[in-house]
């Protein structure tokens, strides 16, 4: 998130102060920038699920008041007075209020960068009929209309803001930072060496990926996907297909869809190959690893991120009895995550959008890494995912399973549709980067807002 925030706001010869929550270390290229000054706030502790429901509104109110006071302290006293405050929304409460007040006190312009609507996110947990959601909506709309300018991430959101909120916004599509790119063979090999133990340790019992792997070895001339030494590195012929999905493990991403699709792929391949149910798992895994089950490969799903629903889904994964599919969950450094995307064969996005008007930044990152995507279909996703060009859309687990079968049949060499989508993702990545979109869309708005305030 921080890398995208900086990418949206940073351009040549600007001093940028970022006030944000910590929790993970930013990418090294960000930390090395002398013009970027990061100010970390203490995070509010996660509200325990065991807390009685009647007390949750009180805790949310206490959280908002505490964060409001903390934000004012940073914005009014701990950073130099800026020409422009730019606040990413959501969160809306108390962020919009605090930044607006700070802009008054410090004589700065106030610009809102709309990534979604905060009240729709709150409604996921409290329900649309909640009085707190109505109050949140009013605050978000009232303070949003007090801005000196607005940016937003889709044309659909631009239309909604203008028609129903009375806010004119400029569309600034997210673009991937430069460190998202197609990984070289050497970069892939080094990455797979670093995360070898995470990839080979199954969630539960032994599976088709951990079969035959000596997790205690020290020699990293061979990984699950690559082999060789020095510059003489090659991709293994019978490697698993690597599928990546990143998530914050929240209710707006239904991972049951992915788990069900994995089970369907596993069973449908078995049916297509007329597999004998009496075959032992050990013999079956050996045949799959040796390529005897061609043309359908093993699938290794790597799910990155951390969040409240992670443990729930990890327990579900342990109960699945899959023969050709494996799952791994992990948290990667800011340097290794882009390399994982640049090394994978397919990305999966389960983001459904609480408002139906925002776009998933994870897909932007995937395209920046030349990674084609299968994404959940919703109202404005086609502003980003071009069906048949850089990705596919699905509405059910069965449809996603069909896409896996179609894309990976003949993997790794004889899968033309997957290769075509990959080429499309690479073209998407090369078409626009931050320099051109920033200069064309964001800079004029920021300059106008600053000049109108300061003359």
Instruction: Examine the domain organization and report whether 95 and 225 are in the same domain.
Output: no
pLDDT reported for residue 372: 97
CATH of residue 134's domain is 3.40.50.2000
Phi, psi torsion values for 113, nearest 5 degrees: -105, 100
Within-domain flag for 197: yes
- CB contact burial 109-144 (16+ within 10 A = b; e otherwise): bbbbbbbbbbbbbbbeebeeeeebbeebbebbbebb
Q: pLDDT, tens digit, for every residue of 338-390?
A: 999 999 999 999 998 889 899 999 999 999 999 999 999 998 999 999 999 99
Average pLDDT over all residues of the chain: 86
pLDDT reported for residue 383: 94
Residue of 404, 437, 397 lying closest to 418 (CA atoms) = 404
Instruction: Examine the domain organization and report whether 8 and 144 are in the same domain.
Output: yes
Which helix (H) or strand (E) segment is 119 a member of?
helix 118-126
Within-domain flag for 326: yes
Instruction: Examine the domain organization and report whether 236 and 352 are in the same domain.
Output: yes
Instruction: Examine the domain organization and report whether 368 and 441 are in the same domain.
Output: no
| Omega before residue 295 within 30° of 0, cis | yes
Q: Mean pLDDT throughout 180-194?
A: 93
Within-domain flag for 233: yes
Instruction: Examine the domain organization and report whether 284 and 152 are in the same domain.
Output: no
Residue 96, domain extent: 2-175+433-454
CB neighbour list of residue 350: distance below 8 Å, 6 or more residues apart:
245, 247, 253, 254, 255, 257, 258, 376
Alpha helical stretches, state H, 180-320: 185-194, 196-200, 256-272, 281-289, 310-319
Within-domain flag for 36: yes
Cα–Cα distance measured from residue 71 to residue 142, given in angstroms and rounded to the nearest whole number: 19
Within-domain flag for 279: yes
Residue of 380, 390, 387 lying closest to 359 (CA atoms) = 380
Number of domains within the chain: 2
- Give the best-scoring range by mean pLDDT among 14-28, 87-101, 124-138, 393-407: 393-407
Q: pLDDT, tens digit, for every residue of 196-228?
A: 888 888 766 678 888 777 655 556 688 889 998
Dihedral sign from CA coordinates of 91, 148, 362, 185: negative
Instruction: Examine the domain organization and report whether 67 and 105 are in the same domain.
Output: yes
Instruction: Examine the domain organization and report whether 136 and 43 are in the same domain.
Output: yes
pLDDT at 135 over 70: yes
pLDDT reported for residue 188: 95
pLDDT at 13 over 70: no
Instruction: Examine the domain organization and report whether 27 and 135 are in the same domain.
Output: yes
Instruction: Examine the domain organization and report whether 244 and 135 are in the same domain.
Output: no
CA 312 to chain centre: 19
Within-domain flag for 35: yes
Three-state DSSP class for residue 368: helix
pLDDT reported for residue 369: 93
Band of residue 278 on the pLDDT scale cut at 50, 70, 90: low
Residue of 33, 34, 3, 37 lying closest to 19 (CA atoms) = 37
Cα–Cα distance measured from residue 324 to residue 105, given in angstroms and rounded to the nearest whole number: 61
pLDDT at 2 over 50: no
Within-domain flag for 180: no
pTM over 0.95: no
Instruction: Examine the domain organization and report whether 78 and 133 are in the same domain.
Output: yes
Q: Mean pLDDT throughout 23-37?
A: 77
Instruction: Examine the domain organization and report whether 297 and 201 are in the same domain.
Output: yes
| Residues listed for the chain | 455
Instruction: Examine the domain organization and report whether 104 and 115 are in the same domain.
Output: yes
Residue of 108, 160, 171, 105 lying closest to 137 (CA atoms) = 160
Within-domain flag for 284: yes
């Amino acid at each position: 998130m921080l890398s995208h925030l900086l990418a949206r706001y940073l351009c040549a010869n600007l001093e940028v102060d970022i006030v944000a929550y910590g929790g993970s270390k930013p990418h090294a290229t960000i930390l090395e920038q002398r013009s970027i000054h990061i100010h970390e706030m203490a995070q509010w502790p996660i509200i325990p699920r065991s807390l009685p429901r009647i007390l949750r509104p009180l805790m949310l109110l206490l959280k908002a008041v505490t964060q409001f006071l903390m934000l004012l302290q940073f914005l009014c006293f701990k950073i130099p007075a800026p020409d422009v405050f730019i606040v990413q929304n959501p969160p809306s409460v108390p962020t919009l209020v605090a930044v607006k007040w700070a802009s008054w006190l410090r004589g700065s312009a106030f610009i809102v960068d709309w990534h979604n609507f905060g009240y729709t996110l709150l409604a996921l947990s409290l329900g649309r009929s909640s009085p707190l959601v109505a109050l949140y909506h009013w605050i978000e709309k009232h303070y949003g209309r007090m801005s000196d300018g607005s940016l937003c991430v889709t044309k659909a959101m631009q239309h909604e803001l203008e028609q129903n909120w009375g806010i004119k916004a400029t569309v600034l599509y997210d673009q991937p930072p430069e460190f998202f790119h197609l990984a070289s063979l050497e970069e892939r090999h080094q990455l797979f060496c670093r995360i070898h133990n995470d990839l080979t340790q199954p969630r539960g019992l032994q599976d088709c990926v951990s079969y035959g792997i000596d997790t205690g070895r020290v020699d990293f001339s061979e990984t699950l996907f690559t082999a060789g030494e020095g510059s003489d590195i090659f991709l293994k012929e019978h490697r698993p297909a690597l599928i990546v999905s990143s998530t914050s493990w929240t209710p707006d991403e239904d991972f049951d869809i992915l788990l069900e699709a994995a089970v369907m792929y596993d069973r449908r391949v078995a049916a297509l190959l007329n597999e004998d149910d009496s075959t032992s798992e050990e013999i079956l895994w050996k045949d799959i690893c040796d390529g005897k089950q061609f043309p359908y490969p093993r699938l290794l799903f790597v799910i990155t991120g951390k969040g409240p629903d992670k443990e729930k889904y990890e327990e579900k994964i342990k109960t699945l009895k899959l023969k050709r599919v494996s799952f791994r969950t992990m948290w990667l450094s800011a340097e290794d995550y882009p390399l994982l995307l640049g090394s994978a064969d397919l990305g999966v996005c389960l983001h459904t959008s609480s408002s139906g008007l925002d776009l998933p930044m994870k897909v932007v990152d995937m395209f920046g890494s030349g990674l084609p995507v299968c994404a959940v279909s919703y109202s404005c996703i086609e502003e980003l995912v071009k069906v048949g060009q850089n990705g596919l859309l699905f509405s059910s687990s069965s449809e996603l399973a069909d896409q896996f079968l179609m894309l990976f049949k003949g993997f790794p060499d004889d899968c033309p549709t997957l290769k075509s989508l990959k080429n499309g993702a690479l073209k998407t990545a090369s078409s626009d980067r931050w320099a051109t979109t920033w200069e064309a869309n964001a800079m004029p708005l920021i300059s106008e807002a600053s000049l109108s305030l300061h003359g």
